[in-house]
Amino acid sequence: MSVVFKKPNAMSDVPMHYCPGCTHGIVHRLVAEVLDELGIEGQAVGVAPVGCAVFAYNYFECDMIEAAHGRAPAVATGVKRTHPDNVVFTYQGDGDLAAIGTAETVHVGARGENITIIFINNANYGMTGGQMAPTTMLGQVTTTSPYGRDKNIQGHPIHVCELMATLDGVAYAERVAVNDVKGVRATKKAIKKAFQAQIDKKGLSIVEILSTCPTNWGLSPVEALKFVEEKMKPVYPLGVYKDTTGY
């Protein structure tokens, strides 16, 4: 019998801890498939965040480092600058990347570090139980914006791809979503392109992925997919925000 669907080699054969209906797992799989297809698992060093993906180091078969909250881009810089032939990626949530780690994120962009950032935007802090994130949308209820995010109190959400696109060292910034099959395919394409850009030393590549958090959104997995479509996409339009790769 021919195998039509199997676990990517770069993915570890262990159960994941993610909640049912969470799309973190889909993105993990896509990254692993890309590591396989580009044949770079052996060169790859992944940097896990603090957030729901903290255990990403258990799920990828490449060498992994667990960074402090928000510091993954700086850790990745340390690896890449001392091992330019490694393929280095970070996997970060929105609190990690756009709140506590904003400076690190902006500066790897400005320096054009040859690393790849896989950025999960789920509009809240998943791991700590659904608090407001820098990407929480106006009006969105979280445990720390219980009356809905009010621009006069909690300020406005940050649009990461738009922000990163302003930085000269960023080679590639695209926002995708994994709430349907088409989106999953587009996400894989974007992740592959991002890694290719790194291999070709083009500069920083970042893929922002609109992702679900059914647990903290208080929605069923199916409703959560719909939330991405109806609530998140209008605020965070999909698309390529920067591309100097020439591919």
Partner 1 sequence: MAKVLMKGNEAIAEAAIKAGCLHYFGYPITPQTEIAEYMAKRMPKVGGLCLQAESEVSAINMIYGAAASGTRCMTSSSSPGISLKSEGISYIVGCDLPCVILNVQRGGPGLGGIQPSQADYYQATKALGHGDMHLFVLAPASVQEMAELTCEAFDIADMYRVPVLILADGALGQMMEPVDFDTIKKRDIPEKDWAACGHGGKRKKNILTSLFLNPEELENSVLARYEKYKKIDENEVRCEQFMTEDADIVVVAYGITSRICKSAVTAARAKGIKVGMLRPITLSPFPAKELKALSETASKFLTVELNMGQMITDVKLAIECSRPVEFLGRTGGSMMTVEDVLAKIEEMGGNK
Interface residues with partner 1 (CB under 8 A) are 41-45, 47-48, 54-55, 57-58, 60-68, 71, 74-83, 85-87, 103-104, 106-107
Tell me how far, at minimum, the Cβ of 41 lies from partner 1, in Å.
8
Does position 51 interact with ligand TPP (CB under 6 A)? The reply is yes
Tell me how far, at minimum, the Cβ of 100 lies from ligand SF4, in Å.
17
Q: Which of 126, 134, 183, 203 binds ligand SF4 (CB under 6 A)?
A: 126
Measured CA to CA, the distance from residue 119 to residue 161 in angstroms comes to 10
Tell me how far, at minimum, the Cβ of 8 lies from ligand SF4, in Å.
20
Does position 56 interact with ligand SF4 (CB under 6 A)? The reply is no
Closest to ligand TPP by CB, 27 or 197: 27
Q: Which of 96, 104, 113, 208 binds ligand TPP (CB under 6 A)?
A: 96
Does position 49 interact with ligand SF4 (CB under 6 A)? The reply is no
CA dihedral 28, 184, 172, 83 (to 10 degrees): 20
Q: Which of 125, 195, 217, 227 binds ligand TPP (CB under 6 A)?
A: 125
Residue, CB closest to ligand TPP: 93
Closest to ligand TPP by CB, 60 or 125: 125
Q: Tokens 């996400």 belong to which residue?
A: 187
User: Helix 72-82 and helix 102-111: axis angle, to 10°?
Assistant: 30
Does position 75 interact with ligand TPP (CB under 6 A)? The reply is no
The letter for the amino acid at 205 is S
Does position 213 interact with ligand SF4 (CB under 6 A)? The reply is yes
Does position 52 interact with ligand TPP (CB under 6 A)? The reply is yes
Closest to ligand TPP by CB, 125 or 172: 125
Q: Which of 67, 127, 137, 238 binds ligand TPP (CB under 6 A)?
A: 127
Q: Is 201 exposed, middle or buried (0-12, 13-18, 19+ CB in 10 A)?
A: exposed
Does position 19 interact with ligand SF4 (CB under 6 A)? The reply is yes
| Residue 36 half-sphere exposure toward CB, CA atoms < 13 A | 16
Tokens of 205: 């590549």
Residue 94 contact, options partner 1, ligand SF4, ligand TPP, none, Cβ 5-8 Å cut-off depending on partner type: ligand TPP
For ligand TPP, the binding residues (CB under 6 A) are: 50-53, 69, 93-96, 120, 122, 125-128, 133
